[in-house]
Amino acid sequence: MNTRLLTLSLLACVVSAAVLGDDNWPQFRGHGGSGIGSGGPPTEWNPQSGHNIAWKTPIAGLGHSAPIAWGDRVFLTTAVNSETDRPSLETGWSGGTGESAKDTGQWSWQVICLQLDTGDILWTKDAHVGEPKIKRHLKASHANCTPATDGKYVVAFFGSEGLYCYDVDGHLVWKHDFGELRSGPYDAPELEWGFASSPIIHDGHVIVQCDCLNTNFVAILDITTGQEVLRIDRDGEVATWSTPLVVTTEDRLQIVCNGYHQMAGYDFRTGTRLWHLSDGGDVPVPAPLFANGLIYLTNGHGRSPTYAILPNATGDLTPRKGETSDEVSDHPGLAWWQPRDGSYMPTPLVKDDLLYTCNDNGRLAVRNAVTGELIYRERVGKGSTTFSASAVAAGGHVYFASERGEVTVIEEGDSFQELATNEMGEVVMATPAISGDRLLIRTVANLYCITTIPIADQVDNDE
């Protein structure tokens, strides 16, 4: 093991944290974006027969945002078109042509609150109504960003249509307009793909990452007023669809951002760039992770590198051209790296000392999270199944939801053991959420609550 890894035991890694044992799921992929739940949802269910399905609630429109949960409530967002109940959506490799959807009509960008126990919709708010300022990708929606909550406020981001803060009872507290946020490929600026970076909440502040073709910055806002406290310039970055991460250690509080030219950590209070990597993979989507005292970053289609970074790193950590993954002596802040074998779309998952990286083609690579050593490779899903949703874990199991609606469940550990494949019967683009013993899966048309918790009357809100 590289000697620099021995310092990990000296880093008091707090990881927002102490709350990992509760049943709340407050943002994209839960506490600290870890993707790890506290309970033990079932590994098998059947939407057709109703086995382990507590409730199913139809969700209008089209949205790829994941559900979040706090206490007895679930929150999610959607965009409803005035001319069609079900806007067009491409999946699989055919959806990756790069073209924008040819939508017509007005849209309503909505925030929805549901009762966790029953799936009943408690309130729906129209955050904005009008024609989109930016088109969406054929595989995307106009509600890609997962909301965030601290139990008092709910923050929803709709890119060019604005950032909105509600209280948990649905009263608008404030809204903030960042102007037009143009997201698309850096080498084809005529294409419009839509915004997808989710907001996060930390210590009374909202953090948003806005890496676009026309502007590049991270903004920190006061959650009570919506006023910007700090704006961090990321000049020169390309469009990025990744959610930022706050990393807390005994000597640092930093915001970590993925990117093509600037994978970087910034001082939370001053915005000073602490460390950075460049020349990673293009079209960055996966969110950063923090576990085992290391920050993990992966990105890009085609060449997809993975980096494991010490949180006290400083300066430029970029490996030299031709440098192998074992040659990191000149980069004391870089614990290990792999030039390929990363992920293009789904965010990886770190559980205990294992790093699970499932690419959009279903190729799963499991590595020792501390050393980078490959443990095994396997294929998740059937045939040419593609994945946009990220993996989540709870109760000793890891859940992988494919676009076709197959949810594969494997056992945690250093060998591949598939336990079940569950057919949702619908397309799944959103990352599942976990609230205790409940698994929340959003399909293109419905939100499902899956659990073995005894329920007197299972609910189908179609009725």
Q: How confident is the model at residue 321 (pLDDT cuts 50, 70, 90)?
A: confident
- The model's pTM is 0.94
Residues sharing a CB contact under 8 Å with residue 304, sequence separation 6 or more, in sequence order: 281, 298, 340, 341, 342, 343, 344, 359
pLDDT in tens, 383-438: 778 999 999 999 999 999 999 999 999 999 999 999 999 999 999 999 999 999 99
**Upper half-sphere CA count for residue 257 (Cβ side, 13 Å):** 34
Sheet of strand 374-379, all strands in order from the earlier edge strand to the far edge: 349-351, 354-358, 363-368, 374-379
Contact 266, 218 (CB under 8 A): yes
Domains and CATH numbers, the chain: 7-460 (2.130.10.10)
Render pLDDT for 12-48 as a digit per residue (tens, 0 to 9): 343 333 344 589 999 999 999 999 999 999 999 999 9
Q: Is the pLDDT at 54 greater than 60, yes or no? A: yes
Query: Does 55 have pLDDT greater than 50?
Result: yes
Give me the helices (H) in 192-262, please. Answer: none
Please state, rounded to an integer, the average pLDDT across all residues of the chain.
92
Which three-class secondary structure state does DSSP give residue 220?
Answer: strand
Distance CA 53, CA 446 (A): 12
> How many Cβ atoms sit within 10 Å of the Cβ of residue 37?
29
Q: Does the pLDDT of residue 134 top 80, yes or no? A: yes
Whole-angstrom Cα distance, residue 132 to residue 192? 11
Model confidence at 463, pLDDT cuts 50, 70, 90, reads low
Give the burial string for 352-375 (b: 16+ CB within 10 Å, else e). eebbbbbbbbbbbbbbbbbebeeb
Q: CB of 246 within 8 A of CB of 255?
A: yes
What pLDDT does 92 receive?
Answer: 87
Identify the CA nearest to 390 among candidates 295, 309, 289, 314. Answer: 289
| Residues in the chain, total | 463
pLDDT at 12 (0 to 100): 36
d(CA 79, CA 62): 5
- The answer to whether 17 touches 30, Cβ cutoff 8 Å, is no
